[in-house]
């Protein structure tokens, strides 16, 4: 399998696993991909309902990203915001 296809497959697998984990922990959040800021492999925005503590969600997101990054050797950036 060419390296690019393998990398894309790993990225898709990593992102799917990460998103599933975050939705399991915080069922009310919305997650959508956004443009990368710099050299991330994947960047997404996590919209948090006002009834959830944004600091807690943000910390959890960063911890889950670190675990995923270590497992898949990727750089993923979560932008966490409150819903409008």
Torsion over CA of 76, 65, 31 and 11, rounded to 10 degrees?
50
- Kindly tell me if the per-residue pLDDT of 1 is higher than 90: no
Own/partner long-range contacts of 53-62 (Cβ < 8 Å, ≥24 apart): 54/80, 54/81, 54/82, 57/26, 57/29, 60/22, 60/25, 60/26, 61/22
Phi, psi angle pair for 49, to nearest 5°: -65, 150
Q: How many domains is the chain built from?
A: 1
Query: What would the mean pLDDT of 15-34 be, rounded to a whole number?
Result: 96
Which residue range is the domain that position 56 belongs to? 3-82
The DSSP 8-state label assigned to residue 31 in this structure reads: E
What integer pLDDT is reported at residue 4 of this predicted model? 57
Per DSSP (E only), the strands in 1-84 are 30-33, 42-48, 76-82
pTM of the model: 0.86
- On average, the pLDDT of the chain sits at 91
CATH, residue 59: 3.30.300
């Amino acid at each position: 399998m060419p390296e690019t296809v393998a990398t894309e497959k790993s990225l898709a697998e990593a992102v799917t696993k990460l998103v599933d984990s975050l939705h399991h922990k915080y069922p009310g959040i919305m997650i959508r991909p956004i443009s990368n800021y710099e050299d991330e492999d994947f960047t997404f925005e996590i919209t948090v309902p006002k009834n959830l503590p944004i600091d807690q969600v943000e910390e959890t997101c960063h911890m889950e990203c670190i675990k995923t990054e270590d497992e898949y050797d990727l750089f993923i950036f979560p932008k966490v915001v409150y819903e409008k």
